[in-house]
């Protein structure tokens, strides 16, 4: 097994007839999935998703793949293939299409519909090519075949990419639920057929590679929801991903059975379920007076007659559920309410979700979650199913994708157990270039591939240095020091005036540091130092040293030097 090394440099030119691939996201992380394939001078992109920020990235809304690798080559892109409509696979599509709006989008009916509704908010009219499981589509030198896979959103697809260099099978996100609610099974027959014909490279979902066994069917959740609904005395609030059509379907079915109306809460939930309903993927049960009501009606209804389906299962600060927990929402959590967190826990969100559970419990709600009831099953194949696919496909080469490093390593180990030669298994990370030449894959280089931060309307303007400054400000506060100096001599004319916020230092204490600043500036003037930047550094060092010695703190020191 091979993996990237720091000494890797830019790759050499791709050999004639070879296939090159580089992930711009999704390797070593859960999210930001995007892989670029290059063959005969043309490019094919599979997925274009976002990563959601963690606590050490304050103020960031989204994290995009780094498009630097394809800058200046956008005209070479034949198409963008979308395996399914989760945000970690489609969330960055608007930002790529801003650079070239006519890139053809290839995907299933529901995937393209959800992407189109997202693009409408960005005022982008996409060029879409709808495909279905079992269909084929040529895109330049890439022959594409699409296979049905079962996942936690309808209409997910795997894609087989045929080129002169060989056949690549990309599973997308998948599991092998044998009793899916929509009856749409993962096409194991198609996988086996491809395997019999010969798959030169398999890229497969690694998220649950450390989890033994096989997946629990989505149907198993139905009886648990029915039991929780039967026991609930007041309002029921179910929080799940805004794209989980099957989960919403089961909640609506349970609500109809127990005589409750349903209100959708959260813009993305309302938008996505509207699209799913219009296309027939979500079937709203028929009840007297209609099952769905709007939020305003729900607020006025008796609590024991309503179910709210909300976003916010990951503890997102501005989500509907977080605002309910913080008493900042029209829906007021009350004693006896039941809150169901019907989703998985995305790594990194543990603290936020725990906080939400505690706040809801403190307000008197009964909180039902994955830790105490079967209210969620994963959308990703565990180790038993991954082994099954490896044995069906029998790939010549293998790259685990979609997972953190430990998931990729566990999946690579499974591939080795099934007989894939270790030299044909590559554990890559974002930016690592892998070439398939003559039936053999190898790591050939490394391309720049960082994080691109979205903060409000700015894209890429927030840097790692900006985030470091934000963390310092958030954790240690700041101290500003204003001095006025003579522009000719550098001598102190007025000040220093010192202001602190969030540093935990009493402003009266700064009487001790003012003489130190005055002394430093006097020495600088005596030495003929008048350049403003140098004077700022002297002030910063004098104040920073005093704060560290007396308080063992490191607030941001902001020196302001005014010349007169």
- For 324-333, write each residue's pLDDT tens digit: 888 888 888 8
Rounded distance, CA 251 to CA 222, Å? 8
Mean pLDDT, residues 3-14: 79
Please give the pLDDT value at position 347.
62
Rounded distance, CA 333 to CA 238, Å? Answer: 13
Same domain, 38 and 174: yes
Strand order in the sheet with 104-107: 127-130, 104-107, 77-81, 42-46, 34-39, 19-25, 432-437, 440-446
Sheet architecture: strand order including 492-501: 492-501, 478-485, 556-563
For the chain, what is the domain count? 3
Please give the torsion angle defined by the CA atoms of residues 320, 322, 327 and 330, in that order, rounded to the nearest 10 degrees: 0
pLDDT bracket for residue 560 (50, 70, 90): confident
pLDDT tens, 96-118? 999 999 999 999 999 999 999 99
Q: How confident is the model at residue 462 (pLDDT cuts 50, 70, 90)?
A: low
The closest of 13, 17, 20 to 443, measured between CA atoms, is 20
332 inside domain: yes
Strand order in the sheet with 201-205: 136-139, 142-148, 157-163, 166-170, 201-205, 397-401
CATH number where 533 lies: 3.10.20.580
User: Does a structural domain hold residue 225?
Assistant: yes
The reply to whether 338 and 240 lie within a common domain is yes
pLDDT given at position 542: 86
Q: What is the pTM of this model?
A: 0.83
DSSP state of 10: P
Contact (CB, 8 A) for 543 and 480: no
User: Tens digit of pLDDT for each residue in 366-395?
Assistant: 999 888 888 889 999 999 999 999 999 999
Q: 323 versus 163: which is more confidently predicted?
A: 163
Are 315 and 438 within one domain? Answer: no
Bridge partners, residue 37, by sequence: 21, 44
Q: Which of 368, 391, 409 delimits the end of a domain?
A: 368
Q: Which residues pair with 459 in a beta bridge?
A: 454
The predicted pLDDT at position 421 comes to 97
Domain shared by 143 and 281, yes or no: no
Q: DSSP readout, 460-507? A: S---HHHHHHHHHHHHH-EEEEEEEE-TTT--EEEEEEEEEESS---G
Residue carrying structure tokens 């979650």: 369
Residue 336 lies in a domain: yes
CA dist., res. 401 & res. 386, Å (int): 12
pLDDT in tens, 357-374: 898 999 999 999 888 888
Residues 409 and 547 in one domain: no
CATH number at residue 400: 3.60.15.10
Three-state secondary structure string covering 418-447: CCCCHHHEECCCCCEEEEEECCEEEEEEEC
**Contact status, residue 455 vs residue 61, Cβ threshold 8 Å:** yes
The reported pLDDT for the residue numbered 56 is 62
537: CB partners within 8 A, 6+ apart = 559
Which residue is listed with tokens 């704060």?
547
d(CA 212, CA 385): 9
pLDDT tens figures, 467-523 = 666 666 666 777 888 888 877 777 887 878 888 877 777 777 888 888 888 888 888
**Has residue 13 been placed in a domain?**
no
pLDDT digits (tens, 9 = 90+) for 415-430: 999 999 999 999 999 9
Same domain, residue pair 143 and 248: no
Answer whether residue 3 is part of any domain.
no
Residues 138-172 as b/e (b if ≥16 CB within 10 A, e otherwise) read ebbbbebbbbbbbbbbbbbbbbbbbbebbbbbbbb
Mean pLDDT of 79-92: 95
- Whether 201 and 318 map to the same domain: the answer is no
Strand partners, 264: 309
Name the pLDDT band for 398 (thresholds 50, 70, 90).
Answer: very high
- Cβ neighbours around 276 below 10 Å, total: 24
Do 286 and 399 sit in the same domain of this protein?
no
Residue 423 belongs to a domain: yes
Q: Check which CATH number belongs to the domain holding 264 and give it.
A: 3.40.50.10710
**Residue 7 belongs to a domain:** no
Residues 436 and 362 in one domain: no
Residues 39 and 115 in one domain: yes
Alpha-carbon distance of 64 to 377, in angstroms, equals 28
Domain housing 488:
477-563
pLDDT band, very low/low/confident/very high, at 63 (cuts 50, 70, 90) = confident
* Mean pLDDT, the chain, integer: 89
Contact 29, 450 (CB under 8 A): no
Asked if 275 and 333 sit in the same domain, the reply is yes
Mean pLDDT, residues 18-45 taken together: 95
Token pair 């998931």 in the structure block, residue: 407
> Is 45 found in the same domain as 77?
yes
In a domain, 373, yes or no: no
């Amino acid at each position: 097994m091979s993996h990237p090394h720091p000494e890797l440099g830019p790759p050499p030119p791709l050999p004639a007839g070879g296939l090159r691939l580089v992930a711009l996201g999704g390797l070593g992380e859960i999210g930001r999935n995007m892989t670029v394939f290059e063959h005969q001078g043309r490019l094919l992109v599979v997925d274009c998703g976002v990563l959601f920020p963690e606590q050490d990235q304050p103020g960031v809304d989204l994290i995009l793949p780094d498009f630097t690798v394809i800058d200046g080559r956008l005209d070479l892109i034949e198409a963008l293939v979308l395996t399914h409509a989760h945000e970690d696979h489609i969330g960055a599509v608007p930002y790529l299409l801003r650079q070239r709006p006519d890139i053809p989008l290839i995907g299933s009916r529901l995937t393209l519909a959800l992407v189109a509704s997202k693009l409408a908010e960005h005022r982008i009219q996409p060029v879409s090519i709808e495909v279905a499981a079992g269909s084929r589509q040529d895109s330049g030198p890439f022959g594409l075949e699409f296979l049905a896979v079962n996942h936690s959103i309808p209409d997910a697809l795997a894609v087989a990419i045929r080129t002169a260099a060989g056949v690549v099978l990309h599973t997308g996100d998948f599991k092998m639920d044998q009793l899916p609610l929509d009856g749409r099974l993962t096409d194991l027959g198609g996988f086996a057929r491809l395997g019999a014909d010969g798959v030169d490279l398999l890229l497969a979902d690694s998220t649950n590679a450390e989890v033994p066994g096989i997946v629990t069917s989505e149907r198993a959740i139905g009886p648990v929801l029915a039991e929780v609904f039967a026991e609930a005395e007041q309002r029921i609030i179910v929080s799940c991903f805004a794209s989980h059509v099957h989960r919403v379907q089961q909640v609506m079915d349970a609500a109809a059975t127990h005589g409750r109306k349903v209100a959708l809460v959260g813009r993305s939930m309302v938008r996505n379920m509207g699209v799913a309903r219009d296309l027939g993927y979500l079937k709203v049960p028929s009840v007297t007076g209609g099952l769905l009501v709007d939020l305003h009606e729900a607020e006025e209804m008796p609590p024991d007659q309503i179910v709210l389906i909300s976003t916010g299962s990951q503890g997102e600060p501005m989500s509907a559920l977080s605002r309910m927990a913080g008493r900042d929402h029209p829906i007021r959590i009350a004693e006896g309410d039941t809150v169901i967190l019907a989703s998985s826990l995305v790594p990194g969100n543990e603290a936020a979700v725990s906080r939400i559970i505690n706040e809801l419990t403190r307000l008197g709600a009964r909180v039902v979650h994955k830790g105490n009831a079967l209210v969620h099953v994963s959308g990703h194949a565990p180790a038993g199913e991954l082994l099954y696919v490896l044995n069906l496909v029998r790939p010549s080469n293998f790259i685990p994708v979609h997972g953190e490093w430990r998931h990729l390593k566990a999946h690579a180990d499974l591939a080795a157990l099934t007989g894939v030669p270790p030299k044909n298994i590559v554990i890559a990370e974002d930016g690592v270039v892998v070439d398939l030449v003559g039936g053999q894959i190898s790591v050939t280089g490394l391309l720049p591939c960082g994080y691109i931060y979205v903060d409000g309307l700015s894209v890429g303007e927030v840097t790692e240095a900006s985030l470091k400054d934000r963390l310092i400000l958030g954790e240690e506060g700041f101290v500003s020091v204003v001095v006025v100096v003579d522009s000719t001599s550098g001598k102190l004319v007025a000040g220093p005036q010192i202001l602190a916020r969030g540093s935990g230092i009493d402003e009266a204490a700064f009487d001790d540091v003012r003489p130190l600043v005055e002394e430093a500036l006097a020495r600088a003037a005596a030495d003929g130092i008048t350049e403003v930047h140098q004077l700022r550094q002297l002030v910063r060092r004098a104040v920073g040293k005093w704060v560290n010695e007396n308080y063992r703190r490191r607030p941001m020191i902001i020196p302001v030097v005014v010349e007169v």
